[in-house]
Amino acid sequence: MQNRMNRVCLICLCGLAFLAGMAWTAENPPEILIANFEDSTYGDWKAEGTAFGPGPARGTLPNQMEVSGFEGKGLVNSFFEGDATTGTLTSPPFEIQRDYISFLIGGGMHPGETCINLIVDGGVVRTATGPNDKPGGTERLDWYSWDVSDLREKTAVIQVVDAHTGGWGHINIDHILQANHSVGTQETSRELAIVEDYLSFQFGAEQGGRSQVSLRLNNEVVRYTAGQNRQEPYWITWDVSQLKGKTAALSIIEVTLGGHRIADTVHHDGEVRGVLYVTDKLYQETYRPQFHFTPKKNWTNDPNGLVYYDGEYHLFFQHNPEGIDWGNMTWGHAVSPDLMHWTQLENAILPDEHGTIFSGSAVIDTRNTSGFQAGPHPPLVCIFTYAGDFGTPKRPFTQGIAYSTDRGRTFTKYQGNPVVENLGPGNRDPKVFWHAPTNKWVMVLYVGTRSDFVILGSPDLKNWERLSTITFPDGHECPELFELPVDGDPANTRWVLWEGGGRHMLGKFDGVTFSPETGVLPSEWGRNCYAGQTYNNVPGGRRIFIAWMNGGSYPGMPFNQQMAFPRVFTLRSTPDGPRLYAYPIAEIETIREARGHWADETLEPGANPLKDLQGELWDIDAVIRPQDGSRTVLNVRGTPIVYDAAKAALSCLDKEAPLPLEDAPLALRVLVDRTSIEIFANGGRLVMSFCFLPDLLDKTLSLTCEQGSAHIDRLDIWEVRSTWPETP
């Protein structure tokens, strides 16, 4: 690896020396500097959002790893105030006068989200990302070149984009220039007529980093693969049978070191070479989660209206029916008999003149308090936010209702909408439930300013009065209020007040006022769990929770984002008082097959009882006793989950959580789908939820001790079956 890095650096240095010593002629005209970001402001460049700060950075920003490899004193660095900020930085128009545009680039590798784009005639014709998509990595900038010889004399703009808020959610750019030669990484682009079923190419062992191959149709990425270095070259094959008869743009981005070139290995024929990357078989696409809900296509985020009714679990969800990114918020709709196998129905609630349809909840009006019942079925009533910013004309946010009298197959909006007028800027996300002791409906609502929730009451879901205000420190969006027994004792209960990030307080609720008994408590120690909601009306009294696994990446897929696996909430006694636990629902046992069982074994350094297991979908249940100072590592498809006994901490990807065992064993339950890892430690007291994008060729599992040893009390491994139909 060191030799390879030296070769990459040598290429960059030689390129710079070549630039410095070149004699400029008519055949070799001088380079044209587009921007070097040495001034204190961006000048004619237009910055939008907050990610790029007030001007070019002077190197490393607060809480950032050391940034290196840039020229001079300044650079574009969208880590301003951390990875959570977003924005764009756009150049003034310029004429393309040379064969190559080169620049220094670093930061995150999130296509379309942390990238630099070349835009001609309103469309993206070239793009590049940083090299990092996993924890670790480096903030070093390296040279990158676009071949733009086919775009000479066209007018273009360059746009730097930061739309990613998770790990490596930033981009670094410096020293953009035009020249008649390339430097470092090179992009090869060409049109390709799709006439055969498969398109194959080979990643080589001599590449100087992750290379990227993409296929665009009408300026939309329809296939994408990023390849990692390996000791031996390996093939990737795309199924392009559904694109036959069309002409697409093939783009290959690689570090050329004088040896293997991906561009020289492209085959378009009827042969499958290496790993087959599927994108056109519904629910069988390469990055489609196999036992987590995703819509057939396009964007989804918050789960909405979770309710059980007449043998079906309803899952409504924030949905953009018109595109792969957020927008046009509509309530999508799916139903399931078991929370495992989902059938997507027609979209339930669509935008109107009051605005688009933001998050909310659903209830079964068994007493027909609303008067909506028109047949044998009690009405299913949805309560949602009208996002008035998107109304015609614009107006404040309000709350509306819609009802169904045919078991949720069609919905009618109440003619008296909105039922709750605006209570604050952006007030939203009503969660409604029936409170039997006071014989009324109760709504908890985010007022639109952090730290303020309100409680409202209604006899009929149509007429609401404000009952009380709740102060929730830094509480934000998607509130909820529900009751749970402590240790299963119905005579000893607490109410859980919840907010979008899963932070919560425990206390009492009398139908009017919530009285907290704890401070704000965490429920999630990972990075990809947000805007969760629990089901109303579940038989048996289980409190079942589903969340949006925000921030996932699904390159080349027809859908965007996924839901978390359903969990059961319980309250249990601890030395600190009652605390919330979360654990996968038992229904998963119906979709798994045993692959291995171990008990009463010592795990010594170098041993790996899972070395013979290969796969994508897992349910892992382990009870392990780490020895003092040991590091026990469960590695899932190249992603380590580490328990460090010396630190008494559990870590995965870029998150670490305290987990003292206090002479008890480490109980670890791990669910692995194609793009997600969910960790439940010590019975669900600690939960870590992650989206990840594993190497397609890495399907390994391992359990090892990096130092010291551990004792396996019990270890069970199940392979999980897909819940999607084979022939939709």
Catalytic positions, please?
A: 302
Which DSSP state fits 378? P
Residue 626 CB contacts under 8 Å (≥ 6 apart), including other chains: 632, 643, 645, 661, 666, 705, 708, 710
Residue type, 13: L
Give the other-Cβ count within 10 Å of 549's Cβ: 28
Question: Exposed, middle or buried by CB within 10 Å (0-12, 13-18, 19+), for 346?
Answer: exposed
Give the other-Cβ count within 10 Å of 66's Cβ: 9
> How far apart are the C-alpha atoms of 508 and 492, rounded to whole Å?
11
Which DSSP state fits 328? S
Nearest to 364 by CA among 332, 335, 304, 407: 407
Structure tokens at 90: 């756009």
| Exposure string over 297-306, b if 16+ CB within 10 A, otherwise e | bbbbbbbbbb
Question: Exposed, middle or buried by CB within 10 Å (0-12, 13-18, 19+), for 19?
Answer: middle
SS3 assignment, position 525: coil
> How far apart are the C-alpha atoms of 114 and 86, rounded to whole Å?
9
Which helix (DSSP H) or strand (DSSP E) does residue 16 occupy?
helix 2-21
Nearest to 306 by CA among 238, 241, 359, 372: 359
CB 109 within 8 A of CB 103: no
Structure tokens at 561: 């984002």
Bridge pairing between strands 142-147 and 100-107 = antiparallel
Residue 65 CB contacts under 8 Å (≥ 6 apart), including other chains: 138, 139
> How far apart are the C-alpha atoms of 534 and 548, rounded to whole Å?
12
Residue at token pair 């007018």: 155
Question: Exposed, middle or buried by CB within 10 Å (0-12, 13-18, 19+), for 26?
Answer: exposed
Query: Phi/psi at 724 (nearest 5 deg)?
Result: -90, 150
SS3 assignment, position 586: helix
- Chain centre to alpha carbon of residue 235: 27
Bridge pairing between strands 639-644 and 631-636 = antiparallel
> How far apart are the C-alpha atoms of 523 and 543, rounded to whole Å?
15
Nearest to 706 by CA among 643, 653, 662: 643
- As a whole number of Å, the end-to-end CA separation of the chain is 45
> How far apart are the C-alpha atoms of 396 and 388, rounded to whole Å?
5
Which residues is 126 bridged to in the sheet? Answer: 118
SS3 assignment, position 154: coil
**Cis ω before 93 (30° cut-off from 0):** no
